[in-house]
Amino acid sequence: MTDFYYPVLNDEVNLPLYVLGIGARDREFHFIREEGYPNHQIIYCVRGSGVLVLEGEEYPINAGDAFYLPPNVPHEYYPTEEIWETHWITFEGREVESVMEYIKLEKAKVFHIHDLNSLDAIFKKMLYLMRTNYYYCGQQCSAHLYQFFIELNRVVNLQNGSHDGAKQNQLQPVIDYINKNYRKDITLTELSVLIDLSPQYLCRLFKECLNLRPFEYLARKRIQQAKMLLLEDKKNINEIAAEVGYNDCSYFCAVFKRHEMLSPAEFRNLHKKSS
C-alpha cells in the first residue's frame, strides 16, 4: 500500500495533539537527513526489512519494529529488501512532550510493537479520514492520534514480553489480592510474601509499574469502593468507612478528602443534586 497525506491545517493546531502528515509506502525510500526532520515522527514496519542509522549505530527494522524520531535528530534509513512497507505519522501539539514522556519515548528510540494489528487499525482510521478531506478530519484525527499513543503504550510498554510487562505480571498477584481483600488490615510483609520479594523491593516494583506505593494503591481501591457505596445512599458514613477497611471514621474522611477534594458527605450531596 502506498498512500500519504499532508493536510492543510485549520484550528486543530490549537489542540494538544494534531497530525501533520500520515502515510504508508510499500517501497520505502532511502532518506538521509543530516539535520533531522523538523517535526516528531513515528515510523513502523509492516513487512519487509530495512535499516535505521542513528547516532552512528545501525538498527535492523523488521515487521513489528518501529522507531520514534524527535525533531531535528540526524538520521538515515533505507530498505534492505525490495519490499519494505512502513507506516508513519508526523505530529505536533503543545502536549507532545508530556505524552512522549508518558509512553517512555523522551528521545529517539527503536522499539518493538507486540500487537501490530490493534495499532494499525487506529492508523488506518486516521488515513481514511485524511483521504476524505472532510472539514473536521483534523480534529477527529487528533482524537485518534491520542488513542494511537495510548494503544502504543499498551502494546510496547505493558504487553507480555516487554520488560515493563514482565514486571506488571510479577506484580499482578499482589494487585489481585488487594482488590479482593481491601476491607481487611493488610501488611506490607503479607503482600511481599505473595510474590516472594522483600518489602523494599515490592515498594520499588509498585512505584515503577504504577507510580504508587502499595498502600497508596490500597487507599485508592478503598476510596473507589466508598464512592460506589456513597452513591447507593443506603448506609451512613460510619458504616461505609468500616465496610471499606477503616475502623476510624475520622481518618477515613481525611483520606477521602485528600483524594477527592470533598468530604464523603459533600461527595454524596453533590451527586444527589446532580441526579
Question: All domains of the chain, ordered by start, with CATH?
Answer: 3-158 (2.60.120.280), 165-274 (1.10.10.60)
First to last CA, the chain: 51
Residues 72-102 have pLDDT tens digits of 999 999 999 999 999 999 999 999 999 999 9
What pTM was estimated for this model as a whole?
0.66
Cα distances from 59 to residues 43, 52, 54, 144, in angstroms, run 13, 5, 8, 29
Residues 227-275 have pLDDT tens digits of 999 988 889 999 999 999 999 999 999 999 999 999 999 989 887 754 4
Go through the chain and tell me how many residues it has.
275
The strand ranges marked E within the chain are 3-5, 18-25, 31-33, 40-54, 57-62, 65-69, 75-92, 109-112
Cα distances from 199 to residues 15, 60, 233, in angstroms, run 43, 41, 38
CB 9 within 8 A of CB 29: no
Report pLDDT for 85: 95
* Residue 49: band (very low, low, confident or very high) from pLDDT cuts 50, 70, 90: very high
Residues 199-215 have pLDDT tens digits of 999 999 888 887 789 99
Phi-psi map region of 28: left, alpha, beta (phi>0 left; psi -120 to 50 alpha): beta
Q: Give residue for cell 518501529.
A: 66
In the chain, the amino acid numbered 169 is N
Instruction: Report which listed range, 3-7, 112-116, 231-235, 247-251, is most confident.
Output: 247-251
